[in-house]
Structure 1
Amino acid sequence: MRPAILCVSFSEIVADARVLRQLDLLAEYGDVTTLGYGPKPASASVHLEVDSSLASLPQTPLGVAFLAARIHSKASMMAPAVQRALQLVQGHTYDLIVANEARALPFAHQIADGTPVWGDMHEWAPEERVQVLSWRLLVAPLMTYVCRRYLPSTDAISVVNDSIGELYAKNFGCTTETVRNARPFVDLTPQPLADGPIRLVHSGAAVPGRNLEGMIEAVHQLGDAYTLDFYLIEARDNGKYLQKIKQIAGDSQQIRFHPSVAPNDLPIVLNQYDLGIYSLPPRTRNQALMLPNKFFDFVQARLGIVFSPSPETSRLIDEYQVGAVAEDFSPASLARAIKSLSRQRISALKENTHRHARSLSSQTDDLVVRGIITRLLSTRHEPSNR
């Protein structure tokens, strides 16, 4: 009988590229039950859907009261989504539980009863949304409590990059393994630059704080020799922020908006462009240390890359000579970095991403994930009271 694996992610899993790649690997080793928002992912054998209206944080009046009183042991299990999740898994047992992000850890340990728990923390949980005052005052202390309480008894811990891993080691004394947001190798070739404007592209989520406004301003400064196409996923605000971004772009002929693209199809769609761009002011520690999906999406699409400065992305851009790094986080700096690249240089950058596409694919990361899965499935613990 194949092992039974539970993968928990309080996200819309079918739109979560990192979790989808995780699921593809988990399905090699067992029958995977997913628990989260939205429809059933393709790699799942069973899907336990949590209604998207149920918050994954304790946002009820009683939950907020516990947060304010710093009664985190109770608050950590009071999120409506967590309460629904407890109902959905009742009567089921698993051989491995994967908890994506810190908010899923208390639930995973609550139901584990000796089952190994893999905590994929993704980024630095205590500062996930510290730019929001209510989150900083109420939720950040909860995330710190969750990490301090549950990480020592979590059997494997993974993070998106080494810089984030160092934060967990320094603050919680835990050992982490790095699983980047790299995607599988895609067999594409760079498209030659067409006559006319340089084709810029950005893909990602249309959520506040991603500085989409700054990228629009940069393109306005560049003039008619450049275009920018957006492939954006609507936030859980019924598209309000996306509409705001479209209004900022106005009737500019340089800027176009397209429907979001399924993660597996994204490199093929992006392959028609020349430069993938992103500029994100570091309002949080996670933003300062970013190594996002889109970097690897742009590589597999065989694009040149222009990013704002960040230790992780800047190191890769310089090491593999696949793009340019802006001097700072202003629209003017992004525009200058883009404009500094001649057409000949852009063609060379696209060839470099092509040359290094396999090195910058998920091959290395997949080995780490397979090692975690194999190790944890080989030794199921005796039931405990942790």
Structure 2
Amino acid sequence: MRIAVVDFHSLANDSRVLRTAEALHRAGHQVLLVGYGPAPAGVSYRVALLPDLPSPFAIRAGILLRQAPANLLPASAHLLYWLHEGRRAARRILRGFRPEAVHANDWTTLPLALDAKARFGARIVYDSHEMAIAEYEHSLKWRLAALAHVRRIEGRGIRAADAVITVSPGIAEALAEAYPGLPRPAVIRNVPDAPLAPFRPVGERIGVLFHGLMRSNRGLEAILDSLPRWRDEFRLTLRGPAAPAYRAALEARAAALGVAHRVRFEPAVAPHEVVPRAAEADIGLCILPDSSRHNRFALPNKLFEYLAAGLAVVTSPLPDMAEIVTRHGCGALAADDAEAIARTVNGFDRPALDRMKRQALVAAEALSWNREREVLTALYDRLSRAPAP
């Protein structure tokens, strides 16, 4: 099949999208990856880049100009969607490629897939990385400015999709509940396609890692607030991209707490370096507040990257993350609360951490990308054999 894999993020840094494109290419499909630069290095399928990724200011302005009107005029959602130059550029690319299927990553790409379906009869596979209609439901501003637009775009696209996949069992159930009549989406977890790190026993210093996008509603404030209570042998690393103002606020918070010497801020690393660099630590943190359905059912990339790196993991007691941690005995649970985080971290001794680190590698072997990839390729095999609509 000719498959357009479309994503409105930086392609080189979107691990799930790169795994998807590579898996479909290896399965014998003709793949065109469409999105923002930089382009991924060393891939053997075609890549088409869009104009520069919008600035944060342009993104916020776009929410007001293109999304807010849907509160009063729902039909405006699809019309105003095309005011974005990047989306019009992606439409031109897809019309030139004439895909037989569009792998639409997140709700923002669904109108493109609908256009290809209307023009060429393309099949739509909607890959819901997040629970779109709940992603920022903790924010009143987002509910007022964007929710109606997101619901309108996703609702139309998801009902026209030939298949829907998502990242966790909880989001799969929540989507089926939000859109009555929708078959339960298939689950393809965010498991890295990377060799497992070798086991490394805990040393004199115990490294604690958070990696990934740093922004509010990800437990970072509670993590920093817990740090003064940690035993002296623990050191924290925060690794990943952050808006300059937010990073400065975190650094100021650490300084005010008197723990600046115990925390390192590091930039993001390339996708192929994520697991090896994570393996330098001993404990991986994945602590989300239970502030939305999106958070409640999250199974983030970082959880599986920590497991592949052989880290003991500390996650929130949210259902999908907690199920993996408790089933495999590879970590502990802590609420998004400084006292709870400190109590959990201080509860680890070296023998327990070494045991959990070994169990993390066992869990990573059981939750391998090879297994998840089979779900993806089988789905496309069924689509390719199905009669044309």
TM-score by length of 2: 0.90
Deviates further, 354-363 or 69-78: 69-78
Gap runs ≥5 in structure 2:
none
Q: For residues 173-252 of structure 1, what are the structure 2 equivalents within 5 Å? A: 173-175=181-183, 176-184=185-193, 186-195=195-204, 197-234=205-242, 237=243, 239-250=244-255, 252=260
Match of 2:192, SS state, is coil
Label 1:133 to 1:376 Cα distance change in 2 as closer, same or farther (>3 A): same
Q: For residues 257-276 of structure 1, what are the structure 2 equivalents within 5 Å? A: 257-276=265-284
Aligned to 2:152: 145
Give 2:161's aligned amino acid: T
Give 2:170's aligned amino acid: S
RMSD: 2.1
TM-score by length of 1: 0.90
Aligned to 1:15: 13
Offset of 1:185 from its aligned partner? 5.1
Separation in 2, partners of 1:64, 1:145 = 12
Q: For residues 65-214 of structure 1, what are the structure 2 equivalents within 5 Å? A: 65-71=69-75, 72-112=77-117, 113-172=120-179, 173-175=181-183, 176-184=185-193, 186-195=195-204, 197-214=205-222
Alignment: residue pair count: 375
List per-residue Cα deviations over 1:238-284 (Å, max 9, x = no partner).
x3322322222226221112221112211111112111112211222
Aligned to 1:45: 46
List per-residue Cα deviations over 1:218-257 (Å, max 9, x = no partner).
12221422100121123xx4x3322322222226221112
Aligned to 2:337: 330
Consecutive aligned runs of 4 or more in structure 1 exceeding 4 Å deviation: 54-58
Separation in 1, partners of 2:97, 2:2 = 10
The structure carrying a bigger helix percent of its residues is 2
Give 2:65's aligned amino acid: P
Separation in 1, partners of 2:51, 2:30 = 20
Q: For residues 265-304 of structure 1, what are the structure 2 equivalents within 5 Å? A: 265-304=273-312
Give 1:137's aligned amino acid: L
Separation in 1, partners of 2:91, 2:68 = 20
Deviates further, 129-138 or 261-270: 129-138
Match of 1:253, SS state, is helix
Gap runs ≥5 in structure 1:
none
Offset of 1:344 from its aligned partner? 1.0
Offset of 1:79 from its aligned partner? 3.7
